Amino acid sequence: MGELSGQVPLLLKKEDEFDHIKKIPVLVSSTIKVIMWVIFIAWATFISILPIKFVNEQQFRFIQATQGTIFGSTGSVFLMFSLPIFMIAFLAIVRLILNGEDERQVCRKKNAKGPNFSLWTFPVLVDGPFGVVTAAEMIGIMLFAGYIVWAVIMYTIQNVDLLSSFHMQDMKEKSALLLELTGFRFGFIGLVCLAFLFLPVARGSVLLRAIDIPFEHATRYHVWLGHLTMALFTLHGLFYVICWAMRGRLLEELVDWKNEGVANLPGVISLTAGLLMWVTSLPGVRRKNFELFFYTHQLYVVFVVFLALHVGDFIFMIAGAGIFLFMLDRFLRFFQSRKTVDILSTTCFPCGTVELVISKPANLNYNALGWIFLQIRELSWLQWHPFSVSSSPLDGKHHLAILIKGLGDWTKKLKGNILNLSVEQSEKAPLLQHNKKIIASVEGPYGHESPYHLTYENLILVAGGIGISPFLAILSDILHRINDSKPCLPRNILIVWAIKNSDELPLLDTVDMEAICPLFSEKLNLEIQTFVTRESQPTLEEGRVPKAMHPSISPGFKGCRMSSLVGTGNVVWSGLYVIVSTIGLVITVALVDIFYINAFNVYYWWYKGLLLIGSMVASVLIFGGLVIALWHLWDRKTSSKEESDDATKKVDVLQQKNEISLHKSFGEGRFVNNIRYGQRPDLQEMFASHAKIWGNVDIGVLVCGPPTLQSSVAKECRRQNLQRSGHQAIFHFNSHSFDL
């Protein structure tokens, strides 16, 4: 006993030393995060004080002083506006690598001393043009609005002072000059907003991953910034048009293409493309004719290229970093989407929902709250549609599942193709089945960097209709973690599901809870409340599930998996892709400047803008393409070990799903314990009662459904938090809806 007791301190000492070593990356990661914030605040401060006359003059002098260098004025603007973004991106890569996949760090309890409010999860606006806005988002909106007002006021004062120095007597010419100066200022402010515009739509961006903003949230910021940017550019063009009309030179100025200075015609073309995108993206147009919105939005290429021709290279570099990072993401998405993917199985539910099980490589990790973009070539070569993943990454390494509700033309055609394919295969010989299959392409998966649903001990999941899909993934993920003794905080879960008809109930059976975790009821307090709003009583067919149909299970199975070359995939390779491409951009621009622009004294602004765009494209294709090629070779080499038994594993997965489907077909839907007909959920009563039961805790509220449901849930979270007194629960609002 003495010997054993003497060994214990040594063991504890070694464990403490090991924990101390593990804390070093966390400390370095925290330091990098602070540095990133310092750089961003310094950069934002510089932009905000630019409207001050003294700072503006110093900036102009710095640009003038660098004209004789290799990079010229473009280099100086790059240092001031684009370099900070790239520095933050590089630091974000290092931080993501250091963070790794430490599940204990991800799933740690946030507030050991009690519940606390969070700016990111406290809704302050629930109704209005912005939808549901949290406190953190409201701060961002106010800062942007404050900058716009501040810049307009300061630039107006400068314009008036500049106008007084001309000593003009003609009031008409004086007014025209004031309009011209004002239009110029609006154009510059629009370029500053454009510097942010493309960052949120880079789906696999290391910047978004570093601050853990998923693309479905970032898309909202892109929409807000898009409206603001186009409003500023519209004012920019409108003031110039009025000015030219007052001078009687409207047509001449509109078609003017200056070689030195700003070229007007490219600006007109760029603004026209932007206006088309803006008008078709308005909610009334987008919701009624999504395809029109989708196709006209591809005019962003015209918008960007002709903007570069309009302002030249050094002015374009104000927004160059964000545009370049978007180009990198777009090229990687293009490469991933070229690969066709096997649809391992399909299941048609009586409510018109289709489940697709898609083949994926084992080394492609994703979050339970993930999204993919899907293209079915039989339906359209251009349309890509987003769907939330309905399976947990722990369900299997070689597949993921999505649920698709037949709501629009595209989804209804998909369901019809699957039904027709299953009928054809049932009538033909099995040896001919491999001639018929669904050809799909996939982009993603995308989503949160960390599984934030695992950081709450208490969860309320509110879904409307097909919005149950991501919550099935959450439920499966939690059950797997409990069964495998992995870090997982959730212990109390309430699922509130509102559906129109009872034929949607079988969707819950896609998660076989007892098969995943036989004793889950001992460790998880799970309550499911389903509300069937359009039926007053249960139907005779309730709970019956049709047998699954698998048109792609055949001897012709080719083993085509999703590509693992995705921005949210391997952190090292995706980071190397960004770094090498950015260095390649600097090298390419330097070579063009040394051997062409400076050597041949090229001074045309529009031409230098075109050369800058060409340098961006070349660096993405050459340097980025080289990294992608090496990444692809590495991926093939690392996955070659599992290729031999990969097909067997996939077939086993499909056979397992068949057995589960057959089991469910005769099941009784025992997991839906509380079904109410002809009612809608009373969120106020539910939230209040569970807050009383669970006590003084943080409650994570996740909602997935239409905007009206999001607003209702956000309003109730805000109500409960504002009325909170004493030791009561705090509700944290989180939305998992993609409202494009």
Per-residue pLDDT band for 321 (boundaries 50, 70, 90) equals: very high
Instruction: Examine the pLDDT at 542 and tell me if it is beyond 70.
Output: no
Give me the mean pLDDT over the 618-636 stretch.
93
Closest CA to 418 of 373, 370, 357, 359: 357
Enter the pTM of the model: 0.88
Give me the mean pLDDT over the 588-601 stretch.
93
pLDDT at 351: 83
Stronger pLDDT, 518 or 154, i.e. the higher one:
154
Per-residue pLDDT band for 225 (boundaries 50, 70, 90) equals: very high
Closest CA to 681 of 555, 529, 558: 529
pLDDT at 671: 44
* CB contact set of 164 (below 8 Å; sequence gap of 6+): none
DSSP collapsed to 3 states, 9-24: HHHHHHHHHHHHHHHH
Least confident of 535-539, 572-576, 665-669: 665-669
Alpha carbons 449 and 106: distance in angstroms, whole number: 10
Closest CA to 569 of 453, 473, 445, 391: 445
* CB contact set of 85 (below 8 Å; sequence gap of 6+): 43, 195, 199, 207, 321, 322, 325
CA 46 to chain centre: 28
Give me the mean pLDDT over the 481-501 stretch.
90
Instruction: Examine the pLDDT at 566 and tell me if it is beyond 60.
Output: yes
Per-residue pLDDT band for 278 (boundaries 50, 70, 90) equals: very high
Per-residue pLDDT band for 298 (boundaries 50, 70, 90) equals: very high
Give me the mean pLDDT over the 309-316 stretch.
94
Alpha carbons 196 and 44: distance in angstroms, whole number: 11
Instruction: Examine the pLDDT at 658 and tell me if it is beyond 80.
Output: no
Q: What is the mean pLDDT of the chain?
A: 84
Longest dimension (CA), the chain: 104
Per-residue pLDDT band for 550 (boundaries 50, 70, 90) equals: very low
pLDDT at 3: 43
pLDDT at 556: 40
Give me the mean pLDDT over the 551-570 stretch.
66
Instruction: Examine the pLDDT at 503 and tell me if it is beyond 90.
Output: no
pLDDT at 540: 52
Rg over alpha carbons for the chain, rounded to the nearest Å, is: 29
CB environment 195-226: b (16+ within 10 A), e (fewer): bbbbbbbbbbbbbbbbeebbbbbbbbbbbbbb
* CB contact set of 119 (below 8 Å; sequence gap of 6+): 134, 135, 136, 139
pLDDT at 667: 36
User: Is 402 strand, coil or helix?
Assistant: strand
Stronger pLDDT, 669 or 139, i.e. the higher one:
139
pLDDT at 425: 56
Give me the mean pLDDT over the 651-672 stretch.
43
CB count, 10 Å around CB of 192?
A: 20
pLDDT at 406: 79
Alpha carbons 328 and 326: distance in angstroms, whole number: 5
Residue 124 identity? V
pLDDT digits (tens, 9 = 90+) for 323-371: 999 999 999 999 888 888 888 888 888 888 888 888 888 888 888 888 9
* CB contact set of 395 (below 8 Å; sequence gap of 6+): 401, 476, 480
pLDDT digits (tens, 9 = 90+) for 29-70: 889 999 999 999 999 999 999 999 898 888 888 888 877 778
pLDDT digits (tens, 9 = 90+) for 202-221: 988 888 888 888 888 889 99
Alpha carbons 390 and 357: distance in angstroms, whole number: 10
Give me the mean pLDDT over the 627-643 stretch.
82
pLDDT at 111: 47
Q: Report percent pLDDT > 70 for the chain.
A: 85
Per-residue pLDDT band for 651 (boundaries 50, 70, 90) equals: very low
Per-residue pLDDT band for 428 (boundaries 50, 70, 90) equals: low
pLDDT at 462: 96
Lay out the sheet containing 674-677: strands in order across. 674-677, 525-532, 492-499, 458-464, 698-704, 730-735
Instruction: Examine the pLDDT at 24 and tell me if it is beyond 90.
Output: no
pLDDT at 420: 74
pLDDT digits (tens, 9 = 90+) for 83-121: 999 999 999 999 988 887 544 445 554 445 678 888 999
Q: Is 421 left (phi over 0), alpha (psi -120 to 50) or beta?
A: alpha
pLDDT at 559: 63
Stronger pLDDT, 539 or 279, i.e. the higher one:
279
pLDDT at 740: 60
Alpha carbons 199 and 621: distance in angstroms, whole number: 20
Residue 628 near residue 335, CB atoms below 8 Å: yes
pLDDT at 72: 85
